[in-house]
Amino acid sequence: MHLLIFGLGYAASAIARQFAAAGWTIESTGRAGTLAFDDDAAVRAAVGRASNILSSVPPADDRDPVLDRYGDVLGGRWLGYLSSTGVYGDAGGAWVDETAPIRGRRAGRNAADAAWLARGARVLRLPGIYGHGRSPLDRVAAGTAHRTGLRDQVFSRVHVDDIAHGVAAAIDGPAGAFNLADDLPASQDDVVDYAAALLGVPPPPIVALDTLSPAAQAFYGENRRVSNRKAARVLGWRPRYPDYRFGLRAVSAVTSPPITSSAPAAASGDQR
């Protein structure tokens, strides 16, 4: 029961908290981690101690930093990888599951997803992640939220705590790809409207797409609903927050405990 996490970002920190509470030993790279990613000797020693290895590090320059640097020593262990439902690309608002073709616009993400699958990992494909300290509530409160008027453009979400439960469910599950998404894909405007209502403030203004960043415009150019049925059937996972309304109410009621560490920063960035 020794988990090594590459990239202790937002979602991976929630995973670390849950596994530590269950008695696991946790080591990690990342800004809040216990190891520097580029300290080869220390990381390779940690790989040797680990029973389970999880990566949340994103591709860089269309390459996977973890597989490039440490792929030669990862064999013989449980492997997990936090991927993205962005690998499916635009589905025109249709439902997609794990049998859908991989045609996302980010070649590096697609390649990393496939490479971890080829190594026998549990590849957990995640949609929009939210939770305490990182949610539409925070953006509305900070005045940085916006609406687009695109009520027919929908996407799926997942509460960060449900990701942690999904990783726990995958520990005894088979290798393969699994979508961890809530039950109710919805438009950004619907979610922002609900967040504003919870805060008791007017919803933010509608903005024109051509005023947004290229990355935001590309995001709104994709439209899909993500099915979680395989994770339910094979892993026995069900989201504790089945839609954004349950999740945002929980976020508004509870403050997440901070993650503190005096470890050196990693050379590779955190993803999730």
185-231 confidence digits (pLDDT tens): 999 999 999 999 999 999 999 999 889 899 888 888 899 999 999 99
**Strands, E, within the chain: which ranges?**
2-6, 25-28, 52-55, 78-84, 95-96, 122-126, 128-130, 154-155, 157-159, 176-179, 186-187, 225-226
Q: Is residue 266 part of a domain?
A: no
Q: Is residue 265 part of a domain?
A: no
Q: Which whole number is the average pLDDT over 11-29?
A: 97
HSE on the CB side for 27, CA within 13 Å? Answer: 18
Q: Is residue 190 part of a domain?
A: yes
**CATH number of the domain enclosing 195:** 3.40.50.720
| DSSP 8-state class, residue 158 | E
Provide the greatest CA pair distance for the chain: 54
- The per-residue DSSP string of 59-119 comes to PBTTB-HHHHHHGGG-TTSEEEEEEEGGGG---TT-EE-TTS----S-HHHHHHHHHHHHT
Say if residues 89 and 104 touch (Cβ distance below 8 Å): yes
Virtual torsion, Cα 136, 137, 139, 142, nearest 10 deg: 170
Virtual torsion, Cα 16, 18, 20, 25, nearest 10 deg: -60
pLDDT confidence of residue 254: 63
The whole-model pTM stands at 0.91
Q: How far apart are the first and last CA of the chain?
A: 22
Q: Which residue has the tokens 């490479």?
A: 115
Q: Is residue 268 part of a domain?
A: no
Q: Is residue 269 part of a domain?
A: no
Q: Is residue 25 part of a domain?
A: yes
Supply the range of the domain harboring residue 117: 2-253
Confidence band (pLDDT; 50, 70, 90) for 265?
Answer: very low
pLDDT confidence of residue 271: 41
pLDDT at 267 exceeding the cut of 50: no
Q: Is residue 272 part of a domain?
A: no
Task: Specify the number of domains making up the chain.
Answer: 1
Instruction: Quick: pLDDT tens for 56-67.
Output: 999 999 999 999
